[in-house]
């Protein structure tokens, strides 16, 4: 799953306006009919990117198929898939945040509690060039939910 996500790191927005042609591929994969007709600002794509990766990895079924994968709020409704207290985070777990509306994949979560950061891979992120990025350093303390859609 992580390698599928990382295969998209060539995606970079020319104007930081959600304007790379591959972004429309992510939206079409999750069921949007004509994303190219929408202005870039109307289609933040972090959730569509996560959905596209899951579809490529054949991990979309049941409850996940019913949500609006483009919406971070929808990912936060998947409570049966949330990691339970004490459950070890794994690469490929989906992460949402408390401080901003964003969803991406956990790439590496250090188990040592003294290490307060983890690494992620996601779309519609990165500065100064928005796009798909890997090895993003994120603070653990801003994670809202961790969601696992695969069997350990």
Where helices occur in 12-91 by DSSP H, the ranges are: 21-29, 46-56, 62-66, 72-75
pLDDT of residue 143: 97
Does the pLDDT value for residue 82 go beyond 90? Answer: yes
The chain-wide mean pLDDT, for the chain, equals 95
Span 38-79, pLDDT tens digits? 988 889 999 999 999 999 999 998 899 999 999 999 999 999
Span 1-49, pLDDT tens digits? 999 999 999 999 999 899 999 999 999 999 999 999 998 888 999 999 9
């Amino acid at each position: 799953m992580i390698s599928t996500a990382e295969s998209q790191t060539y995606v970079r927005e020319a104007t930081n306006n959600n304007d790379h042609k591959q972004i429309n591929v992510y939206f079409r994969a999750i069921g949007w009919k004509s994303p190219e007709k929408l202005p870039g600002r109307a289609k933040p794509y972090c959730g569509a990117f996560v959905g596209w990766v899951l579809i490529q990895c054949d991990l979309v079924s049941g409850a996940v198929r019913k949500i609006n994968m483009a919406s971070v709020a929808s990912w936060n409704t998947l409570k049966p898939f949330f990691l339970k207290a004490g459950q070890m985070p794994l690469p490929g777990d989906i992460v949402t945040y408390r401080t901003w509306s964003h969803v991406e994949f956990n790439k590496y979560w250090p188990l040592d509690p003294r290490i307060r950061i983890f690494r992620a891979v996601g779309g519609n992120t990165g500065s100064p060039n928005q796009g798909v990025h890997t090895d993003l350093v994120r603070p653990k303390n801003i994670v809202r939910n961790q969601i696992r859609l695969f069997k350990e």
